[in-house]
Amino acid sequence: VQLQASGGGLAQSGDSLRLSCAVSGVSLDDYHIGWFRQAPGKEREGVSCIGRGSSGPYYADSVRGRFTMSRDSAKSTVFLQMRDLKPEDTAVYYCAAVRFRKLSSDSYLTRCFTVGHDYWGRGTQVTVSS
């Protein structure tokens, strides 16, 4: 199972970026997916999550209204559209997957930032300058 995050880069305040998380080795439809980020010197935090069948998504307060998460089963890819980027969005962004058999979509969405995920991808760096 592989999760590969991509799409990060340098941006200025107010810019947009779209991150992708390509899932291979398994069917994306069998997994709930979360996006997390870790800024230098800070703990990893949850950004957004989406349940199997596109239920949700759920967003952290810090990104709600600016970020949009979606999934495309045909492409086996999950996206994170980030708009109105702020310097505080600077971090390494990771995607992670948990099997839907472990918990329902509703259960996942209520605790997706704390539940243990089965697989993690390598991160992609997002740097936002003011």
Regarding beta strands 124-129 and 9-12, do their DSSP bridges make them parallel or antiparallel, or are they unpaired? parallel
Cβ-proximal residues to 36 (8 Å cutoff; 6+ apart), any chain: 44, 45, 46, 47, 93, 94, 95, 96, 113
Asked if 97 contacts 112 with a C-beta cutoff of 8 angstroms, the reply is: no
- CA atoms of 24 and 3, how far apart (whole Å): 7
pLDDT at 55: 83
Residue 9: the pLDDT is 98
How far does Cα 1 stand from its chain's mean position? 17
Pair 73, 29: CB distance under 8 Å? yes
The answer to whether residues 51 and 113 touch, using CB atoms and an 8 Å cutoff, is no
C-beta of residue 47 within 8 angstroms of C-beta of residue 39: no
Of 56, 10, 64, the closest CA to residue 32 belongs to 56
User: Could you say which residues of the chain have pLDDT below 70?
Assistant: none
Cα angle 42, 61, 11 (rounded to 5 degrees) comes to 65
Per residue in 26-43, pLDDT (tens digit) is: 999 999 999 999 999 999
Mean pLDDT of the chain: 96
How many angstroms separate the CA atoms of 6 and 78, rounded? Answer: 11
